[in-house]
Amino acid sequence: MNILKFGLNLGIIAIVYFIIIYALKIMSTDTKSVGKRGNKARKATSGLEIVVAGENTNLKNGGILPIVDNLTMGRKSDNTVILDDKYVSSHHVKIFKRNNEYVLEDLESTNGTKVNDVRIKNSLILKSGDVIKVGTATFKFM
């Protein structure tokens, strides 16, 4: 009888250990796949850090505006980023991806767009760290 109890106890302990090991294996695999997806997502996008929000109450200093394929800024509601700023045109500026590079294009705005304190005429390729001024707002390209 004692041998039977001992065998049953051993069997129950083995089943519990098997369940624990199986659960740990599933959790480990799930954690690794989330980490891989997270890294790919970060590499695929760039963004604009809001350095100075200016007159725009919808922006927060230190916030990030992600750029996936393209981003437009202006006063009109059909822009990706709506700027409530008297110095910003209806459709002021566009940032888009071309040949794995991000291009900033001023959309013939009245007051212009500055990159690194230089007013741009048409378009230019953005580099990490470039400072972009649109109206009273200032952004840093990342």
The secondary structure of 81-133, three-state, reads EECCCCCCCCCCEEEEEECCEEEEEECCCCCCEEECCEECCCEEECCCCCEEE
Q: What is the mean pLDDT of residues 15-20?
A: 93
Tell me phi and psi for residue 77, to 5 degrees.
-75, -10
- DSSP secondary-structure letter at 73? E
Are the C-beta atoms of residues 48 and 140 closer than 8 Å to each other? yes
- Band (pLDDT 50/70/90 cuts) for residue 138 is very high
- Dihedral sign computed on CA atoms, order 93, 52, 81, 104: positive
Mean pLDDT over residues 13-28, rounded?
89
Residues 90 and 36 grouped into a single domain: no
Say whether both 50 and 37 belong to one domain: no
Query: Do 20 and 71 sit in the same domain of this protein?
Result: no
- Cβ atoms of 132 and 140 within 8 Å: the answer is yes
* Domain CATH for 53: 2.60.200.20
Pair 137, 50: CB distance under 8 Å: yes
Same-domain pairing of 137 and 127: yes
What is the band of 124 on the pLDDT scale with cuts at 50, 70, 90?
very high
Number of structural domains the chain divides into? 2
Instruction: Quick: pLDDT tens for 25-36.
Output: 887 776 554 444
Instruction: Confirm if 74 and 89 have CB atoms less than 8 A apart.
Output: yes
Domain of 60?
46-141
Same domain, 34 and 50: no
Does pLDDT of 8 surpass 70?
A: yes
pLDDT of 44 above 50 = no
Give me the mean pLDDT over the 41-70 stretch. Answer: 85
Q: The tokens of 119 are what?
A: 């007013």
Residues 28 and 53 occupy one common structural domain: no
Residues 83 and 137 in one domain: yes
Q: Are residues 33 and 59 in the same domain?
A: no
Q: Is the pLDDT of residue 79 over 70?
A: yes
